[in-house]
Amino acid sequence: MLRIPFLDSHTGGEPTRLVETGAPDLGHGSVADQLVILRTNFDHYRSQVLNEPRGSDVLVGALLVTPADPSCQLGVIYFNNVGYLGMCGHGTIGLMASLAYQGRITPGTYRIETPVGVVEATLHPADANQPYANRVSVQNIPAYRHMKHIGIEIDGRTVHGDVAWGGNWFFLVHDHGLEVSLKNLDQLTNFSWRIREKLQEQGVTGQGKQEIDHIELFGDSPQADSQSFVLCPGKAYDRSPCGTGTSAKLACLYGDGKLAEGQVWKQQSVVGSIFEGRIQLKDGQIIPTITGEAWVMAEGLLLVDERDPFGQGIAA
């Protein structure tokens, strides 16, 4: 029987499952190299931890690994129901709050190696009466807009979007005509999925022909600067405002002259949670910082019984 200790948290409603054992030996290379080994040889580990019946489509996994970069204290690989993420903003906030809950880190700034680069996460001090610190700012890798105002034909009309990078590839759409609301999840999901299919059909990709696997639909918000629905690669929607998606959005806003360096942008998710984002300019690059809170909610042991016909997880 394989036993994998886990700690689940949620960041603005979006869950993160922290694991660090049970994974096969991924070698001593960079975190990007370790991801290649995990994906190529041991993808069943992702499915065991994340997929039904032990997990769900909504979960994002955070596997703690040893960083190769000596300036980093932590290394992490993020994964979901269908594959791996470059970076994950809500997951990094969840990771830091989880380590604080476990008493393994104290407030301060930590460098974390991810497959797409080093991020810096700052755990803010908790108030005296709080059991653990849970407010985190994540200084992400540089974000940028790759293409602007790309038209996509759907149902005889054209919607437009920007292609931007924030640690994953996003297509950011404003003129979709749908209400960004919890009441409207089926429509938002189906429409976003159609956009993703159309991007593939029309050959619209990120840089280096990388697939655009996250779709963001924006609307107005009375409580924040904007509200968004984000469809993730495995067709689950992000309950959080999406840290990498907000990073991509900030790059587009800056490009359009709508956001100044240091100005706070509040991005609200479709469930109502809010991230604060701002950018810093460094060597001509846009460096986003995303701030939010995470809450631990379950801890225990995942058990993988070799006799269990669905022990490896149900995967399409």
Query: Which residues here bind ligand PYC, judged by CB under 6 A?
Result: 14, 60, 85, 88-90, 168, 232, 238, 240, 242-244
Nearer to ligand PYC (CB atom), residue 141 or residue 304: 141
Closest alpha carbon to 233 in 114, 78, 112, 98: 78
Q: Which two tokens stand for residue 127?
A: 């108030």
Residues serving a catalytic function are 88, 242
CB of 147 vs ligand PYC, minimal distance in Å? 20
What gap in Å lies between CA 226 and CA 269, rounded to an integer? 9
Nearer to ligand PYC, 7 or 304 (CB): 7
CA 129, chain centre distance (Å): 30
**Amino acid identity, residue 258?**
K
Q: Which is nearer to ligand PYC, 212 or 304 (CB)?
A: 212
**How open is the CA angle 140-278-147, to the nearest 5 degrees?**
70
CA distances from 44 to 21, 38, 186 (A): 14, 9, 30
The conformational region for residue 14 under phi > 0 = left, psi -120 to 50 = alpha, else beta, is beta
CA atoms within 13 A of residue 247's CA, in its CB half-sphere? 30
- Measured from the CB of residue 157, what is the shortest distance to ligand PYC in angstroms? 28
Distance in Å, CB of 291 to ligand PYC, minimum: 12
Cβ 153 to ligand PYC, closest distance in Å?
27
Q: What are phi and psi of 185, to 5 degrees?
A: -60, -40
